[in-house]
Amino acid sequence: MAHHTLHMPCTEADIRKLRIGDHVTLQDTLFGIRDATQIHMFDHGRRTRFDLRGHAVIHTAPNVRKVDKRATNDSGYEAVCIGTTTSDRMERFTRPLMEREGVRIIIGKGGLRESSQQAFADLGGVYLAIIGGTAALETTWIEAIEDVDLDDLNPESLWRFRIRDFGPLLVAMDSHGGSLFAEVQQKVQDRRAAALARLGVT
Protein backbone atom coordinates (compact mmCIF):
# COMPACT_ATOMS: atom_id res chain seq x y z
CA MET A 1 0.00 0.00 0.00
CA ALA A 2 2.29 2.73 -1.29
CA HIS A 3 1.77 6.48 -1.05
CA HIS A 4 2.33 8.53 -4.20
CA THR A 5 2.53 12.28 -4.75
CA LEU A 6 1.49 13.29 -8.26
CA HIS A 7 2.06 16.70 -9.83
CA MET A 8 -0.59 17.48 -12.40
CA PRO A 9 -0.64 16.87 -15.34
CA CYS A 10 0.68 13.29 -15.17
CA THR A 11 1.60 10.57 -17.65
CA GLU A 12 0.18 7.14 -18.41
CA ALA A 13 3.29 5.62 -16.77
CA ASP A 14 2.46 7.49 -13.51
CA ILE A 15 -1.05 6.02 -13.58
CA ARG A 16 0.00 2.45 -14.37
CA LYS A 17 2.10 2.44 -11.17
CA LEU A 18 -1.00 2.92 -9.00
CA ARG A 19 -2.70 -0.12 -7.44
CA ILE A 20 -5.94 -0.38 -5.50
CA GLY A 21 -5.32 0.28 -1.82
CA ASP A 22 -2.52 2.80 -2.54
CA HIS A 23 -2.88 6.43 -1.49
CA VAL A 24 -2.28 9.47 -3.65
CA THR A 25 -1.79 13.14 -2.85
CA LEU A 26 -2.26 15.53 -5.78
CA GLN A 27 -0.45 18.82 -6.36
CA ASP A 28 -0.89 21.93 -8.52
CA THR A 29 -4.06 21.66 -10.61
CA LEU A 30 -7.49 20.02 -10.40
CA PHE A 31 -10.60 20.45 -12.56
CA GLY A 32 -14.16 20.38 -11.21
CA ILE A 33 -16.79 18.72 -13.40
CA ARG A 34 -20.34 17.44 -12.89
CA ASP A 35 -23.52 16.05 -14.50
CA ALA A 36 -24.55 19.13 -16.51
CA THR A 37 -20.95 19.89 -17.56
CA GLN A 38 -20.59 16.46 -19.13
CA ILE A 39 -24.13 16.35 -20.56
CA HIS A 40 -23.30 19.58 -22.41
CA MET A 41 -19.80 18.45 -23.43
CA PHE A 42 -20.71 15.00 -24.71
CA ASP A 43 -24.45 15.05 -25.49
CA HIS A 44 -24.69 18.64 -26.79
CA GLY A 45 -21.29 18.74 -28.48
CA ARG A 46 -19.86 21.66 -26.53
CA ARG A 47 -16.09 22.00 -26.19
CA THR A 48 -13.96 23.48 -23.44
CA ARG A 49 -11.03 25.80 -23.98
CA PHE A 50 -9.18 23.98 -21.16
CA ASP A 51 -6.51 21.40 -21.98
CA LEU A 52 -7.42 18.44 -19.77
CA ARG A 53 -4.76 16.03 -21.09
CA GLY A 54 -3.09 14.13 -18.23
CA HIS A 55 -5.22 15.94 -15.68
CA ALA A 56 -7.49 14.97 -12.79
CA VAL A 57 -11.18 15.89 -12.57
CA ILE A 58 -13.27 15.83 -9.42
CA HIS A 59 -17.04 15.30 -9.41
CA THR A 60 -18.14 18.54 -7.79
CA ALA A 61 -20.26 21.68 -7.95
CA PRO A 62 -18.82 24.14 -5.46
CA ASN A 63 -20.25 26.86 -3.26
CA VAL A 64 -18.56 30.06 -4.45
CA ARG A 65 -18.58 33.79 -3.82
CA LYS A 66 -18.27 36.32 -6.66
CA VAL A 67 -15.26 38.61 -6.17
CA ASP A 68 -13.34 41.15 -8.20
CA LYS A 69 -10.85 39.47 -10.49
CA ARG A 70 -7.42 39.65 -8.92
CA ALA A 71 -4.10 37.85 -9.00
CA THR A 72 -5.11 34.98 -6.75
CA ASN A 73 -8.63 34.54 -8.15
CA ASP A 74 -8.46 35.19 -11.87
CA SER A 75 -11.81 33.49 -12.29
CA GLY A 76 -13.72 36.16 -10.36
CA TYR A 77 -14.76 33.48 -7.89
CA GLU A 78 -13.59 32.62 -4.41
CA ALA A 79 -14.18 29.22 -2.81
CA VAL A 80 -16.78 29.03 -0.02
CA CYS A 81 -17.09 25.25 0.22
CA ILE A 82 -15.90 22.66 -2.28
CA GLY A 83 -16.83 19.01 -1.86
CA THR A 84 -17.58 15.90 -3.88
CA THR A 85 -20.74 14.40 -5.31
CA THR A 86 -21.79 10.81 -6.09
CA SER A 87 -19.89 9.55 -9.15
CA ASP A 88 -22.23 6.78 -10.28
CA ARG A 89 -24.55 9.17 -12.16
CA MET A 90 -21.67 10.10 -14.46
CA GLU A 91 -20.66 6.54 -15.33
CA ARG A 92 -21.26 6.86 -19.08
CA PHE A 93 -18.97 9.88 -19.42
CA THR A 94 -15.76 8.20 -18.22
CA ARG A 95 -14.66 6.85 -21.59
CA PRO A 96 -15.38 10.01 -23.64
CA LEU A 97 -13.73 12.10 -20.94
CA MET A 98 -10.59 10.00 -21.32
CA GLU A 99 -10.69 9.45 -25.10
CA ARG A 100 -11.65 12.93 -26.23
CA GLU A 101 -10.21 15.10 -23.47
CA GLY A 102 -7.28 12.97 -22.29
CA VAL A 103 -8.30 12.95 -18.60
CA ARG A 104 -6.36 10.35 -16.55
CA ILE A 105 -7.75 10.66 -13.03
CA ILE A 106 -11.35 10.82 -11.80
CA ILE A 107 -11.94 11.73 -8.17
CA GLY A 108 -15.33 11.08 -6.64
CA LYS A 109 -17.34 9.24 -4.04
CA GLY A 110 -19.28 5.98 -4.15
CA GLY A 111 -17.35 4.54 -7.11
CA LEU A 112 -17.93 3.91 -10.82
CA ARG A 113 -18.99 0.74 -12.65
CA GLU A 114 -17.76 -1.82 -15.19
CA SER A 115 -17.57 0.40 -18.29
CA SER A 116 -15.39 2.88 -16.41
CA GLN A 117 -13.27 0.00 -15.12
CA GLN A 118 -12.73 -1.10 -18.74
CA ALA A 119 -11.89 2.45 -19.86
CA PHE A 120 -9.31 2.77 -17.06
CA ALA A 121 -7.69 -0.51 -18.20
CA ASP A 122 -7.78 0.32 -21.93
CA LEU A 123 -6.64 3.92 -21.73
CA GLY A 124 -4.63 4.17 -18.50
CA GLY A 125 -6.87 5.82 -15.97
CA VAL A 126 -7.65 5.61 -12.29
CA TYR A 127 -10.47 6.42 -9.85
CA LEU A 128 -9.45 8.01 -6.57
CA ALA A 129 -12.01 7.82 -3.77
CA ILE A 130 -12.44 10.88 -1.60
CA ILE A 131 -14.62 10.75 1.48
CA GLY A 132 -18.03 12.17 0.62
CA GLY A 133 -19.51 14.73 2.97
CA THR A 134 -16.14 16.05 4.17
CA ALA A 135 -16.19 19.25 2.16
CA ALA A 136 -15.04 21.59 4.93
CA LEU A 137 -11.79 19.62 5.10
CA GLU A 138 -11.50 19.34 1.32
CA THR A 139 -11.87 23.10 0.94
CA THR A 140 -8.67 23.59 2.98
CA TRP A 141 -6.74 21.69 0.25
CA ILE A 142 -7.81 24.21 -2.43
CA GLU A 143 -5.79 27.40 -2.75
CA ALA A 144 -7.77 29.26 -5.41
CA ILE A 145 -10.30 29.06 -8.19
CA GLU A 146 -7.99 29.94 -11.07
CA ASP A 147 -10.38 29.84 -13.99
CA VAL A 148 -13.84 28.75 -15.08
CA ASP A 149 -15.32 27.64 -18.41
CA LEU A 150 -18.90 26.80 -19.49
CA ASP A 151 -20.02 29.12 -16.68
CA ASP A 152 -23.58 29.42 -17.99
CA LEU A 153 -23.98 26.03 -16.28
CA ASN A 154 -23.05 27.50 -12.86
CA PRO A 155 -22.66 25.90 -10.36
CA GLU A 156 -21.99 22.97 -12.73
CA SER A 157 -19.37 24.93 -14.66
CA LEU A 158 -15.97 23.47 -15.53
CA TRP A 159 -13.74 24.80 -12.76
CA ARG A 160 -9.95 24.97 -12.57
CA PHE A 161 -8.66 24.87 -9.00
CA ARG A 162 -5.13 25.45 -7.74
CA ILE A 163 -4.50 22.80 -5.11
CA ARG A 164 -1.88 21.97 -2.51
CA ASP A 165 -1.54 18.60 -0.78
CA PHE A 166 -4.95 17.45 -2.08
CA GLY A 167 -5.47 14.19 -0.25
CA PRO A 168 -4.57 11.56 0.75
CA LEU A 169 -7.01 9.90 -1.66
CA LEU A 170 -7.57 6.16 -1.90
CA VAL A 171 -6.91 4.34 -5.20
CA ALA A 172 -10.26 2.55 -5.43
CA MET A 173 -10.20 1.56 -9.14
CA ASP A 174 -6.89 1.09 -10.97
CA SER A 175 -5.76 0.53 -14.57
CA HIS A 176 -5.15 -3.19 -13.99
CA GLY A 177 -8.79 -4.25 -13.52
CA GLY A 178 -8.85 -3.76 -9.75
CA SER A 179 -11.86 -2.18 -8.00
CA LEU A 180 -12.35 -1.98 -4.24
CA PHE A 181 -16.04 -1.22 -4.86
CA ALA A 182 -16.51 -4.38 -6.94
CA GLU A 183 -14.75 -6.42 -4.25
CA VAL A 184 -17.04 -5.06 -1.52
CA GLN A 185 -20.15 -5.51 -3.70
CA GLN A 186 -19.29 -9.17 -4.25
CA LYS A 187 -18.86 -9.71 -0.50
CA VAL A 188 -22.17 -7.96 0.18
CA GLN A 189 -23.94 -10.10 -2.40
CA ASP A 190 -22.49 -13.20 -0.74
CA ARG A 191 -23.87 -12.06 2.63
CA ARG A 192 -27.43 -11.30 1.44
CA ALA A 193 -28.88 -14.71 2.27
CA ALA A 194 -27.35 -14.67 5.76
CA ALA A 195 -28.69 -11.13 6.40
CA LEU A 196 -32.19 -12.26 5.40
CA ALA A 197 -31.86 -15.35 7.58
CA ARG A 198 -31.17 -13.09 10.60
CA LEU A 199 -34.57 -11.57 9.85
CA GLY A 200 -36.22 -14.98 9.62
CA VAL A 201 -36.65 -14.66 5.84
CA THR A 202 -35.60 -17.46 3.53
Partner 1 sequence: MTLMTRQGVEPLRIAPEAIEEAAKLLYIRALKILPDDIKAGFSTLVATETDGTAQSILATMVENIGVAERTENLLCQDTGIPIFNVEIGRNVELDGWALKQAIRRGTERATREHPLRSSVVHPITRQNEHTSCGTHVPVINIDFVEEERVLRLAMIPKGSGSENGSFLQMLIPADGLAGVKRFVIDAAMKAGGKVCPPTIMGIGIGGTSDLCMHLAKVAATRPLGSRCADEQGAALEVSLADAVNSLGIGPQGLGGDSTAFAVHVEVAATHITMNPVAVNIQCHSARRASATFTPDGVSIGF
Task: Measure the CA–CA gap between 2 and 14, rounded to whole angstroms.
Answer: 13
Instruction: Candidates 43, 115, 136, 164: give the one binding partner 1 (CB under 8 A).
Output: 136
Give me the least distance between CB of 102 and partner 1, in Å please: 26
Region from 6-14, 48-56, 116-124, 134-142 binding partner 1, contact rule CB under 8 A: 134-142
78 vs 146, beta carbon nearer partner 1: 78
Task: Measure the CA–CA gap between 3 and 177, rounded to whole angstroms.
Answer: 20
The footprint of partner 1 on residues 2-31 (CB under 8 A) is none
Task: Measure the CA–CA gap between 166 and 4, rounded to whole angstroms.
Answer: 12
124 vs 132, beta carbon nearer partner 1: 132
- Of 70, 48, 66, the residue nearest 57 (C-alpha): 48
The footprint of partner 1 on residues 168-187 (CB under 8 A) is 170, 172, 180-181, 183-185, 187
120 vs 127, beta carbon nearer partner 1: 127
71 vs 201, beta carbon nearer partner 1: 201
Question: For residues 29 and 10, is the Cβ–Cβ distance under 8 A?
Answer: no
Q: Which residue type, as a one-letter code, is found at position 8?
A: M
5's CB contacts (< 8 A; 6+ apart) are 24, 25, 26, 27
54 vs 85, beta carbon nearer partner 1: 85
The footprint of partner 1 on residues 51-110 (CB under 8 A) is 60-66, 80-86, 88-89, 109-110
Residues found near partner 1 in the complex (CB under 8 A): 36, 60-66, 80-86, 88-89, 109-111, 129, 131-137, 139-140, 154-155, 170, 172, 180-181, 183-185, 187-189, 191-192, 194-196, 198-201
